[in-house]
């Protein structure tokens, strides 16, 4: 999923999955969110985020 992080539809699905898995495994969910944020920040700094 992280390959398409700039696609709004994928972002919606990512958020839904995170909310679902938060109750099941909050540590793993937090890791995925953190990885997403790191990748988003790197892309934004490189000018590829369209932000």
User: At a CB cut-off of 8 Å and minimum separation 6, what does 50 contact?
Assistant: 6
**Would you say residue 50 has pLDDT above 50?**
no
CA distances 17 to 9, 33, 42, 48, Å, are 13, 11, 23, 25
**Would you say residue 37 has pLDDT above 60?**
yes
Phi, psi torsion values for 48, nearest 5 degrees: -100, 5
Q: Helix 26-46 vs helix 8-24: angle between axes, to the nearest 10 degrees?
A: 150
Higher pLDDT, 47 or 2: 47
If you average pLDDT over every residue of the chain, what do you get? 79
Higher pLDDT, 5 or 33: 33
**Would you say residue 4 has pLDDT above 70?**
no
Entry pTM: 0.56
């Amino acid at each position: 999923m992280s390959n398409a992080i700039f696609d709004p539809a994928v972002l919606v699905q990512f958020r839904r999955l995170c909310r679902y898995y938060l109750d099941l495994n909050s540590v793993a969910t937090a890791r995925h969110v953190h990885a997403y944020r790191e990748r988003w920040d790197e892309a934004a700094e490189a000018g590829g985020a369209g932000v």
